[in-house]
């Protein structure tokens, strides 16, 4: 089987599978071989599910032979290890869940099973999705295939990097403050955070429940549309999902962008952003204008407060969500005499440094006497940030900005300075606070050969415009399908 089969997207593989030119079993074996040859170096996978994958591929081949294949039937995919999978170890990147085998599938996972996708395994991530570099994983950092000495971004580092390194056709990740868009930018792939409420979070191990959202990582925009369509929709098991029809996202691609109003938020073009990123993003904006879009400068005046607001709200919610890891119901137990000592010993041994830091910060922000000054205040400013966006979307259809101020940094570069690490999410966090959909797509490379990401943002539930704009740009620029030389 030729190596270039591994470079193909799901929509390119579809006709090959349907015509019988290749089988899902052959394709799956090619991916499993690739993972066993390369992943020691990359560390993208926490768990590889070889036997399950081959069984799923076999049954996909039967579906294909019976003529009832859908777009994802037989396509080898992988899942961020924050998504619970029945009888497949789900660690959340943490020692506390190192041996946790969930008894059920989350909704997104179940939908992909239903769609006939093949599960290659579970992907590396920052512990409990807290981080921007994958260096907070209890299983070691995932490595960036564009430069093995650099981080993949985080927290969905394995999800982004495995698509770039062709260790999965497509993957799912999660985005609470940028964890899909930032690693997608660092690894040169497409990553999309849907509107809060678009994809069910049932079976997603919660970090910050008012912000978390599941979304796709793919090599191109068409695959993103396919994968989003497969997992989106209302779910009675997640009361935050919205009871609205899921549009045909693939059908939305190809729509002309003539007359589209694209807003450029002043506050996202700041000193401190790498000049090569600034240039690549401005070139993309000119390209959109060439394609007939109208470019409008807009202002999101409360942007400066977003990082501070996020680190109050996200840590407060995390401190509450992570209380369930008490050694009684899930995972690790360090028995230590009485109940309270057992809790303490388990949590001390099971959680990493960043998770502990966030639990402490969140507990502090919620404590009596400080609640009003921190948590409540943050909620009020969150509202102002959301209002900035709704005012902007009265004037424009899409917003356009860099994803990150820098490209992928070196492993170890920011680990001693949490604040510096937190600031790397400055352009992605506001969108989560507002619950809006956003996408990161490749828009160029630095002189050193590192990928640069462009962020597009849309109004609530307008993923179709987000995808059609991204598609128009993808077709008009040369970045689609650029892969690192790792094959
Ligand atoms: N990097 C951010 C954080 O550390 C965002 C994480 C995420 O989106 N899960 O919280």
Structure confidence at residue 2 (pLDDT): 65
Structure confidence at residue 205 (pLDDT): 98
Distance 412 CA to ligand 1 centre (A): 17
For a mutational test of ligand 1's pocket, the pick from 124, 125, 128, 130, i.e. the residue with the most ligand atoms closer than 8 A to its C-beta, is: 130
Is the CB of 312 within 6 Å of ligand 1? no
Whether pLDDT at 275 is above 90? yes
Average pLDDT along the chain:
96
Parallel, antiparallel or unpaired: strands 438-445 and 190-193: antiparallel
CB 253 within 8 A of CB 471: yes
Instruction: Choose among 148, 234, 210: nearest CA to 410.
Output: 148
Distance 328 CA to ligand 1 centre (A): 27
Report domain extents, the chain: 3-256+462-476
Is the CB of 93 within 6 Å of ligand 1? no
Is the CB of 176 within 6 Å of ligand 1? yes
State whether CATH 3.90.1300.10 applies to domain 3-256+462-476. Answer: yes
Ramachandran assignment for 188, one of left (phi > 0), alpha (psi -120 to 50 degrees), beta (any other): left
Question: Which residues, listed in sequence order, are joined to residue 218 by a DSSP beta bridge?
Answer: 190
Is the CB of 129 within 6 Å of ligand 1? yes
Is the CB of 451 within 6 Å of ligand 1? no
For a mutational test of ligand 1's pocket, the pick from 81, 129, 214, i.e. the residue with the most ligand atoms closer than 8 A to its C-beta, is: 129
Instruction: Choose among 130, 136, 139, 82: nearest CA to 106.
Output: 82
CB 169 within 8 A of CB 473: no
CB-CB neighbours of 460 under 10 Å: 17
Residues contacting residue 136 through CB under 8 Å, at least 6 positions apart: 93, 126, 127, 130, 154, 155, 352, 353, 354, 355
* Catalytic residue set: 80, 155, 179
State mean pLDDT over 202-212: 98
Q: What is the pLDDT of residues 48-79, one digit of tens each?
A: 999 999 999 999 999 999 999 999 999 999 99
Is the CB of 314 within 6 Å of ligand 1? yes
Give the N- to C-terminal CA distance of the chain in Å, as an integer.
13
Q: How many residues does this entry show for the chain?
A: 487
Ramachandran assignment for 20, one of left (phi > 0), alpha (psi -120 to 50 degrees), beta (any other): left
State mean pLDDT over 324-343: 92
Q: What is the pLDDT of residues 27-42, one digit of tens each?
A: 999 999 999 999 999 9
Q: What is the pLDDT of residues 442-475, one digit of tens each?
A: 999 999 999 999 999 999 999 999 999 999 999 9
Closest ligand 1 atom, residue 130 Cα: 4
Instruction: Give the residue carrying structure tokens 């000054």.
Output: 373
Q: How confident is the model at residue 421 (pLDDT cuts 50, 70, 90)?
A: confident
Cα–Cα distance measured from residue 396 to residue 393, given in angstroms and rounded to the nearest whole number = 5
Instruction: Read off the tokens for 441.
Output: 């797509």
Give the side-chain half-sphere CA count within 13 A for 315: 26
Q: How confident is the model at residue 478 (pLDDT cuts 50, 70, 90)?
A: very high
Q: What is the pLDDT of residues 92-111, one digit of tens each?
A: 999 999 999 999 999 999 99
Helix (H, G, I), strand (E, B) or coil at 6: helix
Whether pLDDT at 1 is above 60? no
Measured over the CA atoms of residue 221, residue 225, residue 228 and residue 234, the dihedral's sign is positive
Cα–Cα distance measured from residue 55 to residue 59, given in angstroms and rounded to the nearest whole number = 6
- What DSSP assignment string belongs to 212-272? --EEEEESSHHHHHHHHHHHBS--TT-TTS---PPP-HHHHTT---TT-EEEEEGGGS-TT
Is the CB of 175 within 6 Å of ligand 1? yes
DSSP H helical segments within 2-98, as ranges?
10-18, 24-42, 50-65
Q: What percentage of the chain reaches a pLDDT higher than 70?
A: 99
Q: How far is CA 414 from CA 4, 150, 405, 419, 429, in A?
A: 36, 11, 14, 9, 19
Helix (H, G, I), strand (E, B) or coil at 30: helix
Closest ligand 1 atom, residue 156 Cα: 9
Which position has the higher pLDDT, 51 or 331? Answer: 51
Is the CB of 131 within 6 Å of ligand 1? yes
Question: Which residues, listed in sequence order, are joined to residue 311 by a DSSP beta bridge?
Answer: none
Whether pLDDT at 314 is above 90? yes
Cα–Cα distance measured from residue 424 to residue 406, given in angstroms and rounded to the nearest whole number = 8
For a mutational test of ligand 1's pocket, the pick from 155, 196, 205, 311, i.e. the residue with the most ligand atoms closer than 8 A to its C-beta, is: 155
Cα–Cα distance measured from residue 415 to residue 80, given in angstroms and rounded to the nearest whole number = 22
Cα–Cα distance measured from residue 160 to residue 187, given in angstroms and rounded to the nearest whole number = 6
Give the side-chain half-sphere CA count within 13 A for 24: 29
Is the CB of 116 within 6 Å of ligand 1? no
State mean pLDDT over 234-245: 96
For a mutational test of ligand 1's pocket, the pick from 179, 207, 312, 414, i.e. the residue with the most ligand atoms closer than 8 A to its C-beta, is: 179
Structure confidence at residue 62 (pLDDT): 98
Closest ligand 1 atom, residue 310 Cα: 10
Distance 131 CA to ligand 1 centre (A): 5
Gyration radius from the chain CA atoms:
21
Instruction: Give the residue carrying structure tokens 């109003």.
Output: 261
Closest ligand 1 atom, residue 429 Cα: 5
Q: Using CB atoms within 10 Å of the CB of residue 467, give its burial: 0 to 12 exposed, 13 to 18 middle, 19+ buried.
A: buried
Distance 352 CA to ligand 1 centre (A): 15
Structure confidence at residue 368 (pLDDT): 87
């Amino acid at each position: 089987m030729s190596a270039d089969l591994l470079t193909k997207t799901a929509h390119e593989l579809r006709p090959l599978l349907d015509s019988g030119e290749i089988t899902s079993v052959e394709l799956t074996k090619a991916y499993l071989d690739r993972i066993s040859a390369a992943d020691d170096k990359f560390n993208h996978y926490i768990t590889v599910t070889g036997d399950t994958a081959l069984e799923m591929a076999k049954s996909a081949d039967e579906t294909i032979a019976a003529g009832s294949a859908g777009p994802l039937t037989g396509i080898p995919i992988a899942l961020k290890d924050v998504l619970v999978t029945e009888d497949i170890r789900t660690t959340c990147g943490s020692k506390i869940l190192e041996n946790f085998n969930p008894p059920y599938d989350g909704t997104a996972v179940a939908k992909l099973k239903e769609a006939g996708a093949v599960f290659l395994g579970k992907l590396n991530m920052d512990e409990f999705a807290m981080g921007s570099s994958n260096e907070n994983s209890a299983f070691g950092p995932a490595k960036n295939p564009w430069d093995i000495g650099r981080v993949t971004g985080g927290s969905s580092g394995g999800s982004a990097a495995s698509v770039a390194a062709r260790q999965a056709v497509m993957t799912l990740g999660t985005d609470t403050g940028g964890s899909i868009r930032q690693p997608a930018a660092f690894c040169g792939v497409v990553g999309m955070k849907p509107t809060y409420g678009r994809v069910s979070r049932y079976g997603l191990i919660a970090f910050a429940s008012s912000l978390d959202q599941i979304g796709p990582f793919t090599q191109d925009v068409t695959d993103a549309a396919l994968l989003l369509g497969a997992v989106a929709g209302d779910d009675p098991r997640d009361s935050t999902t919205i009871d609205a029809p899921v549009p045909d996202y693939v059908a939305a691609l190809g729509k002309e962008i003539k007359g589209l109003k694209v807003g450029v938020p002043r506050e996202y073009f700041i000193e401190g952003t790498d000049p090569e990123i600034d240039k690549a993003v401005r070139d993309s904006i000119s390209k959109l204008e060439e394609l007939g879009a109208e470019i409008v400068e807009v202002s999101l005046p409360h942007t400066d407060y977003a990082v501070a607001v996020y680190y109050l709200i996200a840590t407060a919610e995390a401190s509450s969500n992570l209380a369930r890891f008490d050694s009684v119901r899930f995972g690790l137990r360090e028995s230590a005499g009485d109940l309270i000592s057992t809790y303490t010993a388990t949590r001390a041994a099971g959680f990493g440094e960043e998770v502990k830091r966030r639990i402490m910060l969140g507990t502090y922000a919620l404590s009596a006497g400080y609640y009003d000054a921190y948590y409540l205040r943050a909620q009020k400013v969150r509202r102002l940030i959301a209002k900035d966006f709704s005012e902007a979307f009265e004037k424009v259809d899409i917003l356009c900005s860099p994803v990150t101020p820098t490209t992928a940094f070196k492993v170890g570069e920011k680990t001693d300075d949490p604040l510096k690490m937190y600031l790397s999410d400055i352009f992605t966090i506001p969108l989560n606070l507002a619950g809006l959909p956003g996408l990161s797509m490749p828009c160029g490379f630095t002189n050193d050969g590192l990928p640069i990401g462009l962020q597009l943002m849309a109004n609530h539930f307008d993923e179709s415009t987000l995808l059609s704009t991204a598609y128009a740009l993808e077709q008009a620029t040369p970045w689609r399908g650029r892969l690192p030389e790792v094959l």
